Amino acid sequence: MLDAPSRTVVVWDPLVRIFHWTLVTAVLTDLVLEAGSKIHVWAGYAVAGLVSFRLVWGIMGSRHARFTDFLRSPGVVLGYLRDLRRGDARHYLGHNPAGGAMILLLLIALVLTAGTGVLMNTDRFWGNSLLEGIHETAANAFYILVPVHLAGVVISSLLHKENLVRAMVTGRKSL
């Protein structure tokens, strides 16, 4: 088995992992609670803070946390997906091109959802139907993207024979 430290390498730093699992918790909290409830609002503020942190960490964080490490052109992403469909997609130590594109889409949806949620709780934008519509649309888009993200994790884990969920817990991936 490849769990020995000499056969693995640290990929996800502790801040990326804490961000990821705290975000999962906050998003699940928002999903199950009634919109507008105090806990829903505070979980939304937590999401806004977490996403703000991740945007900064994507610029100045550890190697595999940086956007420059995993954001690729649409052509590279489509090529990776084509190779994936054929079953011969290249293995990446960090995020693969499709994973990088998914992170970008998830972050955009979260920025829109959390940003409009924060604005809707100000006196100036309270009850603004345009913001409410953007908030709901972005949240729904996010909830569509999440199962696609999870499917990608499963497919990539099977194809490359690595447990990506465990890697997001331990920070380590097999060499």
Q: Tell me the DSSP string of the chain.
A: -TTSGGGEEE-S-HHHHHHHHHHHHHHHHHHHSPTTSHHHHHHHHHHHHHHHHHHHHHHHS-GGGSHHHH---HHHHHHHHHHHHHT-PPP-SS--HHHHHHHHHHHHHHHHHHHHHHHHTSTTTTT-HHHHHHHHHHHHHHHHHHHHHHHHHHHHHHHHT--HHHHHHHSEEE-
pLDDT tens-place values along the chain, 175 residues long: 445 456 889 999 999 999 999 999 999 998 888 777 889 889 999 999 999 999 999 999 999 999 999 999 999 999 999 999 998 899 999 999 999 999 999 999 999 999 999 999 888 988 889 999 999 999 999 999 999 999 999 999 998 888 999 999 999 998 7
128 CB-contact burial (10 Å; exposed 0-12 / middle 13-18 / buried 19+): middle
**pLDDT tens figures, 26-76:** 999 988 887 778 898 899 999 999 999 999 999 999 999 999 999 999 999
CB 12 within 8 A of CB 171: yes
pTM to 2 decimals? 0.89
